């Protein structure tokens, strides 16, 4: 089965927000065995939305709309759906009760006419009620399937999960398996040459994709079928053949899960002292449920004064070696362990750019220090790219280094 996502939002088209909904939906569709073939965005204009729906409905089994279900005049989705499916709007009393209860829970007894009108839904639609907002999801099934969700991300995610649970039970969907590994320090073109024979002899159920980023090429093997265990076996066999040709590693998301599991299961603790990474490591860690069991805390010591005041970095040490140095990175992670009473600590210091501010080393120079119960190891890197890309590489490399340290204790 193939799907198409249509995001209805002027704010996406003018660059005011990022379309995170499409990313989440695409992943969720793949998880239940549905291919997403198209993603596009249209403005809040009736004719444009109608044209987008007509095109999508003719070429895709499942069309997913986000946005335009709110209470204001520029929310046009329900009217457009009625026009396209020759339908009319009716009051859904269950939805109206949900809206009333929602506002009462917020301490609001008076509900506006516009909010009450959110209980108007196409008469032919199946409704998925929204327990955390006011707009329900609307599902219409004629020759193909169409479902419309509110554009608010947390409401969309809640309703998408409800819909896909229903949809997967009703239709016999295959498994889609993606297995990704990454290869370091081999350019994409060179890697393709090395793997040419292996790629040409891949199992017919597998599709290979090269996904390059600075210093890393990700290799993704994708397959589809009704027997998940068979797909896993086929993929594992091909990865075993690959291991005889090159050294590859697991994707960083898998590595992070192993980091998380290690600290959770072994009662070790972790802290971070970040300078150039600006808190992204702490943010990555705390985004996962259960991190409080092992993550002691962190410091974003961006300036030299804060490094001195909160991490007890000697001013003379900074003056002698500069704040971006092996010596300062090492003391940062050591002192962070002491301050937070943690078993492990990660520290970062470097130049993310774009300017150097009288620095003696080029933009992209970064020192990462890992303190463990047995040692402290500092690594120096020269990352390329703009500021955002440098910081992203610092995050990836920090996770990679802490993973290597904890593997020594397993």
What's the pLDDT score for residue 253?
63
- Residue ranges, CATH 3.30.70, the chain: 175-249
Q: Report residue 113 as tokens.
A: 């006419």
What CA–CA distance (Å, rounded) separates 42 from 10? 7
| Secondary structure element (H or E) that encloses residue 387, with its range | helix 387-407
Find, among 230, 139, 240, 246, the residue nearest to 194 by Cα.
246
What CA–CA distance (Å, rounded) separates 288 from 261? 11
For strand 175-184 and strand 216-225, is the pairing parallel, antiparallel, or unpaired?
Answer: antiparallel
Question: Topology of domain 253-407, per CATH?
Answer: Maf protein (3.90.950)
Using the Cα atoms of residue 350, residue 354, residue 357 and residue 363 in order, give the sign of their dihedral: positive
Residue 126: how many CA atoms within 13 Å on its side-chain side? Answer: 12
What's the pLDDT score for residue 8?
96
Render the burial of 331-355: b for 16+ CB within 10 Å, e for the rest.
bbbbbbbebbebbbbbbbbbbbbee
What's the pLDDT score for residue 4?
98
Q: Report residue 76 as tokens.
A: 């046009």
What's the pLDDT score for residue 252?
61
Q: What is the CATH number of domain 175-249?
A: 3.30.70
- Residue ranges, CATH 3.90.950.20, the chain: 253-407
- Residue ranges, CATH 3.40.980.10, the chain: 2-170
pTM: 0.75
Q: Is 385 left (phi over 0), alpha (psi -120 to 50) or beta?
A: left
pLDDT in tens, the chain (410 residues): 999 999 999 999 999 999 999 999 999 999 999 999 999 999 999 999 999 999 999 999 999 999 999 988 889 999 999 999 999 999 999 999 999 999 989 888 888 888 899 999 999 999 999 999 999 999 999 889 999 999 999 999 999 999 999 999 999 899 999 999 989 889 999 999 999 999 999 999 999 999 998 778 999 999 999 999 999 999 999 999 999 999 888 766 678 888 999 999 999 999 999 999 999 999 999 998 899 999 999 999 999 999 999 999 999 999 999 999 999 999 999 999 999 999 999 999 999 988 766 667 899 999 999 999 999 999 999 998 889 989 999 998 999 899 999 988 86
What's the pLDDT score for residue 255?
81
Q: Percent helix, strand, coil in the chain (nearest 5)?
A: 45, 25, 30
Place of tokens 């009108």: 117
**Which CATH architecture is the domain 2-170 placed in?**
3-Layer(aba) Sandwich (3.40)
């Amino acid at each position: 089965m193939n799907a198409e996502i249509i995001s209805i939002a002027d704010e996406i088209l003018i660059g005011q927000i990022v379309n995170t909904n499409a990313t989440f939906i695409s992943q969720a569709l793949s998880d239940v065995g549905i291919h997403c073939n198209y993603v596009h965005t249209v403005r809040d204009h009736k004719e444009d939305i109608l044209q987008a729906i007509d095109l999508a409905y003719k070429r895709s089994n499942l069309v997913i709309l986000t946005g335009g279900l709110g209470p204001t005049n520029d929310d046009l989705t329900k009217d457009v759906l009625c026009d396209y499916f020759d339908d009319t709007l009716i009051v859904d009393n269950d939805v109206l009760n949900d809206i009333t209860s929602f506002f009462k829970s917020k301490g609001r007894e008076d509900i506006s006419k516009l909010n009450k009108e959110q209980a108007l839904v196409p008469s032919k639609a199946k409704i998925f009620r929204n327990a955390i907002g006011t707009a329900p999801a609307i599902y219409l099934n004629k020759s193909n399937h169409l479902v419309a969700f509110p554009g608010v991300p947390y409401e969309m995610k809640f309703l998408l999960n409800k819909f896909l649970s229903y949809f997967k039970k009703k239709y016999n969907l295959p498994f889609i398996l993606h297995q990704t590994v990454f290869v370091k320090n081999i350019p994409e073109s060179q890697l393709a040459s090395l793997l040419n024979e292996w790629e040409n002899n891949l199992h017919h159920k597998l599709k290979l994709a090269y996904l390059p980023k600075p210093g890393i090429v990700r290799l993704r093997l994708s397959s589809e079928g009704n027997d998940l265990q068979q797909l896993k076996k086929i993929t594992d066999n091909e990865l075993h053949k690959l291991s005889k040709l090159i050294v590859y590693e697991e994707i960083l998301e898998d590595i992070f899960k192993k980091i998380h599991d290690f600290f959770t299961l072994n009662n070790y603790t972790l802290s971070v002292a970040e300078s150039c990474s600006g808190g992204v490591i702490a943010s990555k860690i705390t985004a996962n449920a259960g991190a409080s069991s092992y993550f002691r805390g962190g410091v974003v010591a961006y300036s030299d004064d804060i490094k001195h005041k909160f991490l007890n970095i000697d001013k003379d040490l900074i003056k002698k070696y500069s704040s971006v140095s092996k010596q300062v990175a090492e003391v940062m992670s050591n002192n962070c362990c002491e301050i937070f009473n943690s078993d492990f600590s990660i520290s970062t210091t470097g130049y993310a750019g774009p300017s150097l501010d009288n620095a003696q080393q080029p933009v992209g120079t970064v020192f990462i220090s890992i303190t463990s119960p047995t040692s402290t190891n500092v690594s120096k890197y020269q990352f390329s790219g703009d500021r955002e890309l440098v910081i992203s590489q610092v995050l990836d490399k920090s996770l990679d280094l802490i993973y290597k340290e904890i593997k020594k204790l397993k």
